């Protein structure tokens, strides 16, 4: 849609795309057809879009018939899975260690401000680690 003549051209091409997708558009097909008779750029753009749509619909895509949710649900309840809390705690410890190393290379007068901020954030994380957005996989 680049290099269109007018804002009307943009609207024409967008409406043509909507019609090709089976949607309703603000501009009816007759007006689109009348416009592309006089505007070579829009005619070219719409012809390219039609060609692309024809090629895409000609592709034979395999229909997905398998229900994958049981396999996903089985993975969620695995007893040998690593607990999320352990992963989050390990990540927090790594971030704290990285911040401590970064702070050690800072200006001596301000080196303590960042570790204190990170420590407060870690303390808040530990105090508030219960997930308020817990998703229940089974509806009763």
Q: Is the pLDDT of residue 109 over 70?
A: no
Cβ atoms < 10 Å from Cβ of 109: 7
* 18: in domain: yes
- 35: containing domain: 7-58
Length of the chain in residues, anyone?
140
Whether residues 87 and 116 share a domain: the answer is yes
* 100: in domain: yes
* 122: in domain: yes
| Residue-level pLDDT at 45 | 92
* 65: in domain: no
Q: Is the pLDDT of residue 140 over 50?
A: no
pLDDT digits (tens, 9 = 90+) for 31-76: 988 999 999 999 999 999 999 988 888 887 777 778 888 887 877 7
* 51: in domain: yes
Above pLDDT 90, what percent of the chain? 12
* 66: in domain: no
Whether residues 54 and 81 share a domain: the answer is no
Overall domain count for the chain: 2
* 11: in domain: yes
Q: Cα–Cα distance between 50 and 35 in angstroms, integer?
A: 16
> Exposed (0-12), middle (13-18) or buried (19+): which is 59, by Cβ within 10 Å?
exposed
User: For the ranges 9-13, 22-26, 110-114, which has the lowest average pLDDT?
Assistant: 110-114
Whether residues 123 and 80 share a domain: the answer is yes
Whether residues 44 and 80 share a domain: the answer is no
* 42: in domain: yes
- The CA–CA distances, whole Å, from 99 to 35, 103, 119, 123 equal 62, 6, 10, 15
- The CA–CA distances, whole Å, from 50 to 1, 17, 43, 47, 109 equal 14, 9, 10, 5, 66
Whether residues 89 and 46 share a domain: the answer is no
């Amino acid at each position: 849609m680049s290099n269109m003549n007018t804002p009307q051209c943009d609207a024409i091409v967008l409406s043509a795309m909507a019609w090709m997708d089976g949607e309703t558009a603000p501009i009816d097909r007759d007006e689109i057809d009348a416009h592309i008779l006089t505007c070579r750029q829009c005619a070219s753009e719409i012809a390219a879009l039609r060609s692309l749509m024809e090629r895409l619909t000609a592709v034979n895509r395999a229909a997905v018939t398998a229900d994958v949710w049981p396999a996903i649900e089985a993975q969620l309840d695995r007893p040998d899975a690593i607990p999320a809390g352990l992963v989050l705690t390990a990540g927090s410890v790594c971030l704290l260690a990285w911040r401590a190393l970064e702070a050690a290379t800072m200006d001596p007068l301000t080196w303590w401000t960042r570790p204190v901020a990170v420590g407060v954030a870690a303390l808040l994380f530990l105090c508030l680690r219960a997930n308020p957005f817990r998703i229940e996989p089974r509806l009763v």
